[in-house]
Amino acid sequence: MSAATLHLLLAAAMFCIGLAGALCRRNAILVLIGIELMLNAANLNFLTFWKYGPQPQPLDGPVFVLFSVAIAAAEAAVGLALIIAIHRRYRTTQLEEISRLRG
């Protein structure tokens, strides 16, 4: 078993844990936590392939991770702002209760 395999397995496990959270939890913020975990698992994958992969381009992996981190930060900010706005309006953060399109 190589280091790459280990890291990939770790990333897959992290992704699946995050996925389970996103699938099961009813609170929107906790779902967001699950999604953050999934994103980070993807980042780990990028770095693994950069470090242990056949590396066609020297810095592709890190650059991708950098962009991914930036976008994840934006995503978290907007997502949390949405959740706060929804909470203010409907007094709930339960995903199932936020199912109407009309205001």
Partner 1 sequence: MPPEPVLSLAFAIVAGLVLGGSVAAVSCRNRVHAGLFLAVALVGLALVFLRMGAEFLGFIQILVYVGAVAVLIVFAILLTRGSDSAHERRSNAPGIGIGLAVLLWGVLAWGILHRSPGAIATPSPPPSMAVRDLGERLLREELLPLQTVGLLLTAALIGAALIALPEPGISPRPSGSHGSAGTETPPSSPT
Partner 2 sequence: MENLAKNLWVIPLLPLLAATVGTFLPRRLHRVTAGLSVAALATAAILAAAAFLSVVRGGALYSNVPWFETGTLSVRVGWILDPLSAAMLLMITVVGTLIFIFSTGYMAEDPDSGRFFCFLSLFAAAMLGLILSNSLLLLFICWELVGLASYLLIGFWYSRPPAADAARKAFLTTRIGDLGFLVGLIWLYSESGTVLFYDQGAGCLEPAALSGIAGRATAGGLALGTAISLLLFCGAVGKSGQLPLHVWLPDAMEGPTPVSALIHAATMVAAGVFLMARMFPLVALGGSAELPAPALVVMAWTGALTALFGALTAVAQTDIKRILAYSTISQLGFMMMGLATGGPAVGMVHLLTHAFFKALLFLGAGSVIHGCHGEQDIRHLGGLRRRMPLTFATYAVGMMALSGVPVFFSGFWSKDAILHSLSHWAPSRVPFLLGVLTAAVTAFYMTRQMIYVFAGTSRGPDSAHAHEGSPVLTVPLGILAGASIALSAVTTPFRPWLEHFLSPASTPSESGSVWGILILSALACGAGLAAGGILYRNLGVALKTGRDPLERWVPRMYTLMRDRFRFDEFYRATLVKWVGAAAWISAALDQSLGSVFRDLASFAASAGSWLSRTVDQGVLNASFDDGCQAARDAGGLLSRTHDGQPQRSLRILIAGVIALAAGLLFLATS
Q: Which does 99 bind (CB under 5 to 8 A by kind): partner 2, partner 1, none?
A: partner 2
DSSP for 33-74 reads HHHHHHHHHHHHHHHHHHHHS--SSTTHHHHHHHHHHHHHHH
| Residues 34 and 50 sit within 8 Å (Cβ to Cβ) | no
Residues 47-86 that bind partner 1 (CB under 8 A): 47-55, 58-59, 62-63, 65-67, 69-78, 80-85
Q: Is residue 23 a contact point for partner 1 (CB under 8 A)?
A: yes
Would you say 74 or 101 has its CB closer to partner 1?
74
